[in-house]
Amino acid sequence: MPKFCMKCGRPLSDDLKFCPDCGTAQAVTPSFEQQTVSAPPQQTYPPMQQNNAYPPQQSVGQTQPYTPQPKKSNGKIIALVLGIVIIVVIVLAMVFLFMDFDGNDSDSDDSNINSSSSIVDTWDVIHYYVDTNGEPSDLVGDMINPTMTFNSDGTGTMNFGGTNQNFNYNIVNDKICGMNNNDENDCMDYSLSDNGNVLTLVSSFSSSYDDEYSYNYTYTLVLQRK
């Protein structure tokens, strides 16, 4: 592209900085090759923050360590079971206490009343069994209103046929001794049942005759409290 002096208009070459005629300084026009295009200013951005909401991706072949998950607590179930067990135990205890106070446990009551004071009373003889060598018989039908009386001072009276017979007695280890002719060595086993309203006396002994015949006797008296 031709260049001219800015003052006198003389043609000039591109490399001249002053006009040779008028000496006017000329503006240097850069050639096309010398022209550079400035790049637009780059816009800076703040560094991106890492988003911790998502775990880093696992690369192929990398093994993650196993972390055991905590087990759920069974505390509520255990507390419920213990509560049920406690309720059952309380109910059973109340049932047994009620049986004891109500007198339904006859075995326990009878064991507690086997004492000398428990037989002090007048009793009707309802059975009088005599068993000889395994052949029992009830003799109460041959008696007239048979009764027995035990007094608190250790004395007593029996009436098996209209006549009173006095005796002394003593209780030793669930045995009543001395009723037969006041013999302390002659004892009868005794027990109470039906809440202390039935008294049973049992005595057993053996005898022989001419060393040839032997007999086993068992006497059983069943008395009922009047």
CATH number, domain containing residue 218: 2.40.128
User: Scanning the structure block, which residue is given the tokens 């560094």?
Assistant: 47
How many separate domains does the chain show?
Answer: 2
Asked if the structure places residue 58 within a domain, the reply is no
139 contacts 161 by C-beta, under 8 angstroms: no
Asked if the structure places residue 79 within a domain, the reply is no
Instruction: Identify which of 217, 192, 198, 199 has the alpha carbon closest to the alpha carbon of residue 207.
Output: 217
pLDDT at res. 100? 56
Asked if the structure places residue 187 within a domain, the reply is yes
Asked if the structure places residue 137 within a domain, the reply is yes
Asked if the structure places residue 77 within a domain, the reply is no
pLDDT at res. 113? 43
Asked if the structure places residue 69 within a domain, the reply is no
pTM of the predicted structure, to 2 decimals: 0.46
Q: What range defines the domain where residue 176 resides?
A: 113-225
Asked if the structure places residue 169 within a domain, the reply is yes
Contacts of 205 (CB under 8 A, 6+ apart): 216, 217
With a cut of 50, list the residues of the chain below it in pLDDT.
32-35, 103-114
Contacts of 88 (CB under 8 A, 6+ apart): none
Q: CA 220, 221, 222, 226: dihedral to nearest 10 degrees?
A: -170
Asked if the structure places residue 159 within a domain, the reply is yes
pLDDT at res. 147? 93
**Same domain, residue pair 128 and 221:** yes
**Same domain, residue pair 118 and 14:** no
Three-state secondary structure call for residue 94: helix
Retrieve residue 99's tokens. 């049986």
Q: Where are the alpha helices (DSSP H) in the chain?
A: 75-102, 106-112
Characterize 187-207 residue by residue with b for buried, 16 or more Cβ atoms within 10 angstroms of its Cβ, and e for exposed.
bbebebeeebebbebbbeeee
